[in-house]
Amino acid sequence: MAQNNTCANPLLLEWVKEWYETARERNSKGVTTYKHAYDSLKACPIAFGHPASLQQLKGFGPKLCERLTEKLREHCQQNGLPMPPHPRGKKRAYRAVLPGENEAEDEPAPQAKKARKAKPYVPAYRSGAYALMVALASAGEEGRGMPKAELIAAAQPHCDASFTAPPDPTKFYTAWASMKTLLAKELVYERGHPLKRYCLTDEGWEVAKRIQQTTGPQASTSDSSASNAAATPSTSAAPLATSARPTVTPAIVLDDEEDVASQPPKKSEFGDVVADGTAVPDDAALPSFTPIILAPGSFTVELVLDNREIRAKTDRDYMQEELAKRGIEPTVRSLELGDVLWVARCKNPGWLDRVGAEGDEVVLDWIVERKRLDDLIGSLRDGRFHEQKFRLRRSGVKNVIYLVEEISMDAAHFQKYEEAVQSAMASMQVVDGYFLKRTQKMDDTIRYLASMTKMLKTMYEGKSLYVIPTGVLTAKNYLPLMKHLRETQRSASHHISYPAFASLASKSSNMSLRDLFLKMLMCSKGVTGEKAIEIQKVWKTPNEFVKAYEQCGAGEEGKRRKIDLVSSKLGHLVGRKKISKAMSQKLAEAWGEV
């Protein structure tokens, strides 16, 4: 690095150069700083009277300037020179002058930075503050304000969060907490005692007018936009909700789920509506019937909610109350299958009974199975997940929605099961053909159900429904009959009454020997439903399967035959049905005592 004789501060530049070269030789982290300082000082045409003034140049900080000051002090002492005065106490940098410039001339003060203008406050759309502003503005500028209860009732339709209940039991705030922000920003003021009334200030009215200009008609049609969004359902791309926080009490709980699981199942009140019947060998054995036709306008589409879908044991009616606020009056009862379904309810009570069906409701082709993320993990661990999927498949409902609420969980706990959860979600979409909907909390689920209800009303209430008379149905012919009708009469929509559906669902929980054998096979890791079915086609019962292993004999030769038993029969299959040798060995270990 050559010395530049034209530098305005040659002595200071020489010292910086020495330190730079030393830092480079030692491979020190400060080499970049010294390089920047050297380059900027070398290029600067201004002569500085004191090293402290160098802080205005790139690369010079307080430490480097202090080091140069000490170096200059030593230099002055060694050469008998006076030490330049320190520019301490001045508000601006030490006066730097060009060579030959008159130091007595005044230097213009640097121009002050322009203060950034604060943006006007506008609350987020459908937030608590937004809803409160809209509600207060609806009272008019000449109004006397609103008390809290009246204000909450007026604001709730404009807000996605609840003003009366926290988002989940682990939190203590509601949307009403936004009032504190509005009071602090002096957009709202309180008046009256002891009954407080809330009013908009002059600035609050300006914000309210900006809200009306920004949102326009959205404020009154927010629910309709949500309904349109649900008309074409799509899988939510939200990531799985995890956090580093400790495990918290689940936000949503099923009522006494553990107690219910430990008790023997209660006999369904609809259990005898549909007979068991005999197996159907082919389509020719299917019954013929004249459908019962529900004409457009003779029924309404209603949402039916399982009575165990509660928010907390102390807040049992939260879901139905929130649905009611969105214009949906759900019917709450104990469902044999699923957590939510939709029915077509006849406007003429008793009419279905007179024409060959039961009750006043017909089940539509939509059902929801709702799971919290922690409950999904639990069902994967104890096997309920596969059993519930099996029963949903036996229900005959065409459109199954698997709704997962991704509540916050301990990150370390969730990581143990993350792969299993992702695999289960992919399997239910690709293999089972279910629609997966992911939400973050119960309020999101409620909004989705309200939107789905409005969409299904539009879809069904304007067309005829074809109802299968209950007398022709049996537990054995139901699924083949529905499959045949959907393949041969695609333009018609065939359904069954709710009592018939509940009866069939209760029977699906009473598994046949075949179903039990399939479940037993699927307990072996890697044996999917498709693989289990292929095994059951060869060995019809568990007894046949065990005897097949016994016939392989003993000793090393018998052990080899047992290991190859299943793969020798099913190894030729392709895709997901194929049984590999490794899987055949696992089955031999479980069933053949290898």
On the question of pLDDT at 221 being above 70, the answer is no
Taking only the tens place, the pLDDT of each residue in 347-399 is 988 888 888 888 899 999 999 999 988 888 888 887 778 878 888 888 899 99
Strand intervals (E) in 452-516:
465-467, 494-495
In this structure, the answer to whether residues 436 and 398 fall within a common structural domain is: yes
In this structure, the answer to whether residues 310 and 433 fall within a common structural domain is: yes
In this structure, the answer to whether residues 361 and 412 fall within a common structural domain is: yes
CATH code for the domain of 541: 1.10.150
338 against 172, higher pLDDT: 338
CATH code for the domain of 444: 3.40.50.10130
On the question of pLDDT at 444 being above 60, the answer is yes
**Dist. CA 188–CA 136, nearest whole Å:** 9
In this structure, the answer to whether residues 317 and 438 fall within a common structural domain is: yes
CA triple 102-108-109, angle to 5 deg: 130
Taking only the tens place, the pLDDT of each residue in 297-306 is 999 999 999 9
In this structure, the answer to whether residues 182 and 259 fall within a common structural domain is: no
On the question of pLDDT at 276 being above 70, the answer is yes
On the question of pLDDT at 567 being above 70, the answer is yes
Residue 275 backbone phi and psi in degrees, to 5: -75, 160
pLDDT of residue 310: 67
In this structure, the answer to whether residues 501 and 521 fall within a common structural domain is: no
3-state secondary structure of 437: strand
Assess contact for 224 and 327: CB atoms under 8 A: no
Indicate whether 4 belongs to any domain.
no
On the question of pLDDT at 256 being above 60, the answer is no
152 against 247, higher pLDDT: 152
Q: At what angle do helices 555-570 and 581-591 cross, to 10 degrees?
A: 120
Tokens (6 digits) for 501: 């559906």
Tokens (6 digits) for 543: 């007894």
Indicate whether 88 belongs to any domain.
no
On the question of pLDDT at 510 being above 80, the answer is no
Peptide bond into 194 cis (omega under 30): yes
Tokens (6 digits) for 194: 């002891």
Indicate whether 233 belongs to any domain.
no
Residue 302 backbone phi and psi in degrees, to 5: -125, 150
pLDDT of residue 115: 58
pLDDT of residue 230: 41
Indicate whether 100 belongs to any domain.
no
| Cα–Cα separations (whole angstroms), residue 261 to 238, 242, 336 | 31, 28, 14
**Dist. CA 188–CA 120, nearest whole Å:** 15
In this structure, the answer to whether residues 441 and 529 fall within a common structural domain is: no
Assess contact for 51 and 74: CB atoms under 8 A: no
Average pLDDT, the chain: 79
Indicate whether 90 belongs to any domain.
no
pTM: 0.52
Taking only the tens place, the pLDDT of each residue in 85-143 is 877 644 444 444 444 444 444 444 555 555 565 667 788 888 889 999 898 888 877 66
Indicate whether 321 belongs to any domain.
yes
Taking only the tens place, the pLDDT of each residue in 397-440 is 999 999 999 877 777 777 888 888 888 898 888 888 899 999 98
Over range 550-570, report the average pLDDT. 90
CA 3 to chain centre: 65
Indicate whether 206 belongs to any domain.
yes
pLDDT of residue 5: 54
> Which DSSP string do the residues of 502-532 spell out, in sequence order?
HHHHHHHTS--HHHHHHHHHTTSTT--HHHH
3-state secondary structure of 194: coil
| Cα–Cα separations (whole angstroms), residue 447 to 43, 44, 239, 248, 421 | 65, 66, 19, 24, 24
Taking the CA atoms of residue 69, residue 75, residue 80 and residue 83 in that order, the dihedral angle to the nearest 10 degrees is -10
**Dist. CA 300–CA 328, nearest whole Å:** 12
CATH code for the domain of 14: 1.10.150.110
Least confident of 235-244, 330-339, 446-455, 473-482: 235-244
**Dist. CA 157–CA 135, nearest whole Å:** 9
In this structure, the answer to whether residues 528 and 492 fall within a common structural domain is: no
CATH code for the domain of 202: 1.10.10.10
Over range 517-527, report the average pLDDT. 82
Using CB atoms within 10 A of its CB, is residue 366 exposed (0-12), middle (13-18) or buried (19+)?
buried
Give the residue numbers spanning the domain of 167.
128-220
In this structure, the answer to whether residues 292 and 356 fall within a common structural domain is: yes
In this structure, the answer to whether residues 337 and 192 fall within a common structural domain is: no
Indicate whether 400 belongs to any domain.
yes
Spatial CA neighbour of 218 closest among 308, 305, 309, 124: 124
Over range 583-593, report the average pLDDT. 89
Placement of tokens 């304007």 in the chain: 462
Number of structural domains the chain divides into: 4
**Dist. CA 502–CA 390, nearest whole Å:** 16
In this structure, the answer to whether residues 136 and 68 fall within a common structural domain is: no
Placement of tokens 């031999």 in the chain: 588
Of the three residues 482, 508, 534, the one that is the final residue of a domain is 508
195 against 200, higher pLDDT: 200
In this structure, the answer to whether residues 186 and 293 fall within a common structural domain is: no
pLDDT of residue 97: 43
On the question of pLDDT at 295 being above 80, the answer is yes
| Cα–Cα separations (whole angstroms), residue 362 to 197, 301, 355, 398 | 49, 9, 13, 14
Q: pLDDT band at 228, cuts 50/70/90? A: very low
Tokens (6 digits) for 193: 């005692």
